[in-house]
Every structure is written in C-alpha cells, then in structure tokens.
Amino acid sequence: MIYQRPRGTRDIYGDELERIELINRGAREFFKLNGFTEIRTPTFESIELFVRSIGLHTDIVEKEMYTFEHDKKMFVLRPEGTASVLRAVLENGLKPPCRLLYIGQMFRKERPQKGRYREFQQIGVELIGEAAPFYDAECINLAVRFLDTIGATHYFIELNSIGCPVCRQSYKNMIENYLKPYLPNLCSDCQRRFEKNFLRIFDCKKDSCQKIYEVAPKITDNLCEECGLHYQKTKEFLKKFNINFEENKKLVRGLDYYTRTVFEFKLKGLGAQDTIIAGGRYDLLVKELGGDNTPCIGWAMGVERMLLALPELQPEIKKSKKFFIAVIGESLFDEGVKLREMIIKNGFICIHGNPLDKIKTQMKDAHHYKVDYVIIYGEDEAAQGVYTLKNMMTGEQKKISQNEIIQFIEQCQ
C-alpha cells in the first residue's frame, strides 16, 4: 500500500514548482522596488484572531478552518494572511505607514476543485496606515503592474464600495424593507445571511436569489457623503493610472473586515474559480485587534489559480545545459571535482558520477538524468592528457584537450 496525500492537497515539483518560484521571486523583486518589505508570520495562530477579524458569521470561520487544540488553547492553520500581518504589526510595534508583502501557504477546508486546494499559496500586500483614496488606486495599480511583470493580461477588474458602518446601517434598513416581501423566496443560505451578515446575500450563487438582488437597491448608491467622495476620488485616480475597471455593485467580498473600496481581478473563461486577486480597504480592523485607529488597504493573489489560468502565459523557464562527469577510478577523482566546479561556476547543471562505478553504469545514470553532455575521464584519457566529450543529444563523441574542454564549457549555451 502506498500512502496518499490528504484530499485537496498536492505535491508540487519540477517545472510547476519552478514556475511558482519564478512568480515568488518576481513578487519579491517588484515589491521591494516599490518600497515594500517582506514579512513572514506563523502558519498557525490563535483561533480568536481570525474569529475577531474575518467575522464569526462568515463561511471561513463557520466551516472552513482547520483547528486544533494544544495546551488547552485552540489554534487554526491560517486561512488568510491579513489578520496575521496586522497581529504582527501590533505585536512588534511596527510604525505605520508601512508597506508589507507576504508570501505563504494558507489553509481552508473547501470542496476541492480545479485551481482550488485546501492548502494553497498566496502572495499578498498590505498598505498599513494609509487612509487617502490615492492609496486605494495605488494598491490596485501595484497589482496591475505586478501582473504585467509576470505576463498576465486576460483579466478584468471589478470595483465596488461597501461603505462604512454609518452608511451600512441606513442601507440595512432600506434593504430590509425592500426584501421583506421576497424573504420566503430567498434560499435558506440567504435567509440565514440576511439575519447575521446581510451584505453577503449578494454573494449568493443561486439564480433565483440573484434575480431579486439584480433590481434591489445597492449600498454603492446609498453611501454616506464621505464614503461617496472617497469612492469618487478612488475612481478618478484609477483613471489617472490608465486602469480599466468595471463597477460591480454586487461585489461585497466574503470577509467582515472590509470597508469602502473592494475589488477583484477576474480572468476571462475560468468560471467559478475566476478570481485571481481579491482585496479591499479595512479601516477598522487594526482597532478591532486592539491597536490605534489605522486605516489600511491590501490584496491577496492565489498563485495556483493564477498558474492554472495562464498556462500559455507562464513565464518561460530558462533551461540550463546539464553535464554529467564520469570519472573512472578513485585515483582520478580530483580531476572530476575540478571539472564540476568549473561547470557550475559557468552556470550549468552538473552531476558527478560515482568514480567506483564502471563506465556502463555511469552512462546509465547520465541517461536517467537526461543530461546534455557527458565528460568521461578514465585511465586512457589520463594517459593521453585528454577528455572524452559525449554529446547526448547527437550521440557524437570526441576526445578533446584540457584547453578545449575549458573553452567548450565557457562557450556552452
């Protein structure tokens, strides 16, 4: 019997892992140049942190968290990055404004499907301590520019404002009155949401509910004066950045902590899993977690979904030439070590065979590793002061001098 990985997880290796690492490296480079510093927080945190931040009546907290008990305390594998980052900012006394980047694994007990895993990687950025609408636009702009650097193009941006507690309270009365006659027609999820977390009804996937919400009044049209101005100014700055976006008045996001601006980057043709970046403003969360009043905005990108969505646009992996050194006999070992150093210094891959193996065994290894060249150095070669170079792609084999082998390695591409 072979053990199997848990459902919804996966093993990442080879080209796919290289692509993920390329995106991660790209993110580190790009965001460093834009004034961000990277932060790494623990993979598990106390359960209270997420209940407090994401909200008790959200899908994540109600049914998607991996929890465990230790020392009579409850912990969770982090389902998202923002709460941990803010906890770290407060705990370590980082002074806002700060710009933070995080890259790491998140965990959610969701139903697995293509591009959706129970352990997945996110790249996220947070602009902490920034209240002005310029930063809403800048935050979205940074995502657009970053996607440029990794070659993503087939996406569109959806934007909305879900206001502040003031406008939400008056809107709540309005939507309650409006929906009252329709309540029996809503699905059971929506009826439940309506009681506990009313904005989230707009998230419902059922056509029968959506038909009702289509014509219902939207919070976007009922913002308080300040939220309205903030939204207006955000859109103006986005236009100044030359960023195209669509307003979606039903975009509300599944987490409680958002205020005002929310946005999603969606890919065309991906169906239900089409969101690659999601984010928004969370002006009240730092205070909720025990800090001073600190407005913030940020987003997170799902790396797996990104890769799934863009197979033809994945960054090209530069394949380095691969060498195999077949030294025959222990007495010639030093020569192999020198050769390997030279090959690696020139940026090529090199595998050193076991000098105690016969040439036949070493050639078998070289085949197995799919190398491009084998350099053979045995007694004959040592006596003649040459190397045998075998081109594994053409099968051609020739004896060349030491100078020639150095030249060959230096000019190899």
Residues forming the site for Zn ion (CB under 5 A): 163-164, 166-167, 187, 190, 204, 206, 209, 224, 227
Q: Which helix (H) or strand (E) holds 326?
A: strand 322-327
Calpha distance 350→342 (Å, rounded): 10
Shortest separation between residue 187's beta carbon and Zn ion, angstroms: 4
In this complex, which beta carbon is closest to Zn ion, that of residue 23 or of residue 190? Answer: 190
Shortest separation between residue 126's beta carbon and Zn ion, angstroms: 22
Shortest separation between residue 258's beta carbon and Zn ion, angstroms: 13
Shortest separation between residue 184's beta carbon and Zn ion, angstroms: 12
Q: Measuring CA to CA, which residue among 199, 254, 257 is closest to residue 83?
A: 257
Q: Measuring CA to CA, which residue among 174, 140, 141, 144 is closest to residue 160?
A: 140
In this complex, which beta carbon is closest to Zn ion, that of residue 94 or of residue 187? Answer: 187
Give SS3 for 137.
helix
Q: Could you write out the DSSP letters of every residue in 173-234?
A: HHHHHHHGGGGGGS-HHHHHHHHH-GGGGGG---HHHHHHHHHS--GGGG--HHHHHHHHHH
Partners of residue 265 on adjacent β-strands? 157, 277
Shortest separation between residue 189's beta carbon and Zn ion, angstroms: 5
Shortest separation between residue 96's beta carbon and Zn ion, angstroms: 22
In this complex, which beta carbon is closest to Zn ion, that of residue 167 or of residue 179? Answer: 167
Beta-strand pair 296-302/37-38: unpaired
In this complex, which beta carbon is closest to Zn ion, that of residue 227 or of residue 405? Answer: 227
CA dist list (Å): 93 to 90, 96, 102, 125, 288: 5, 9, 18, 19, 16
Q: Please give the single-letter amino acid code of residue 259.
A: T
Please identify which residue in the block is written with the tokens 């969370």. 282
Beta-strand pair 44-46/397-401: unpaired
CA dist list (Å): 202 to 161, 215, 252, 296, 376: 13, 12, 7, 24, 68
In this complex, which beta carbon is closest to Zn ion, that of residue 107 or of residue 171? Answer: 171
Neighbours of 101 (CB within 10 A): 20
Give SS3 for 263.
strand
In this complex, which beta carbon is closest to Zn ion, that of residue 56 or of residue 166? Answer: 166
In this complex, which beta carbon is closest to Zn ion, that of residue 81 or of residue 163? Answer: 163
Cβ-contact 286, 86 below 8 angstroms: yes
Shortest separation between residue 206's beta carbon and Zn ion, angstroms: 4
Which are the contacts of 370, defined by CB distance < 8 A and separation ≥ 6? Answer: 322
Shortest separation between residue 168's beta carbon and Zn ion, angstroms: 7
Cβ-contact 298, 325 below 8 angstroms: no
Shortest separation between residue 183's beta carbon and Zn ion, angstroms: 11
In this complex, which beta carbon is closest to Zn ion, that of residue 168 or of residue 340? Answer: 168
In this complex, which beta carbon is closest to Zn ion, that of residue 23 or of residue 204? Answer: 204
